[in-house]
Amino acid sequence: MRVLLVEDDEMIGRSLKQALEGAGWSADWVRDGELAQSALADGDYTCMLLDLGLPRQDGTEVLRRARERGDATPVLVLTARDGLDDRIHSLDLGADDYLRKPFEFRELLARMRAVVRRRDGAAHSLIGGSTLQLDLTTREVVTGGAREALTAREFALLHALLERPGAILSREQLENRIYGWGEEVTSNAIDVLIHGMRRKLGAESIRNVRGLGWRVAA
């Protein structure tokens, strides 16, 4: 699960990035609106945390342009402004939810899970197909009625695959979903991860489509 954190306040940005990583998210942090635009255009993010008051381009402008481009990344707006107009405006522009600073980190995580879940089309916390499901709240995989704990990377891998069961994801798409900027990704990292998942969940759980990538059964 990869999040784009857009925050110009050094202290808030640094502590949020650290806390998100501690909670198993891969977090890319940018400090202005223009960098947010280019990161969004290049990256494949599970969700974006967006401050409104930003240098170079305001958060509402980032949001407006992203939605105009057809970018459907779930957006949670973080704002110190207590103006009702700002909150209504950002929701109308396509934000999925907002949180006023200061907030409790636990609440931020719960709201992130909620916006991601809604994008996945699930009212409850389970997503996936008939044989394999993922619990977004407990971060466990559910298979044949049994639950199994996952590492942060295993969770990110399965989340990417189970968003659209049956769809093939390439190595590059999976790497983009699992690793943040500056993270060392060895050429066989995805293979090692999938090998481990198959040992846990069975050889047929994740299928290789030669030359194209991987998928889970629909």
- List residues near Ca ion by CB under 5 A: 8, 51, 53
Comparing CB distances to Ca ion, the nearer of 81 and 198 is 81
CB of 115 to Ca ion, least distance (A): 20
Six token digits for residue 68? 């105009």
Comparing CB distances to Ca ion, the nearer of 7 and 28 is 7
Cβ burial of 8 (10 Å; 0-12, 13-18, 19+) is middle
CB of 164 to Ca ion, least distance (A): 35
Peptide bond into 102 cis (omega under 30): yes
- Rounded to whole angstroms, how far apart are CA atoms 168 and 178? 16
Comparing CB distances to Ca ion, the nearer of 28 and 51 is 51
Residue nearest to Ca ion (CB): 53
Comparing CB distances to Ca ion, the nearer of 85 and 184 is 85
118-138 per-residue burial string, b: 16 or more CB within 10 A, e: under 16: ebbeeeebbbbeebbbbbbee
CB of 7 to Ca ion, least distance (A): 7
CB of 85 to Ca ion, least distance (A): 17
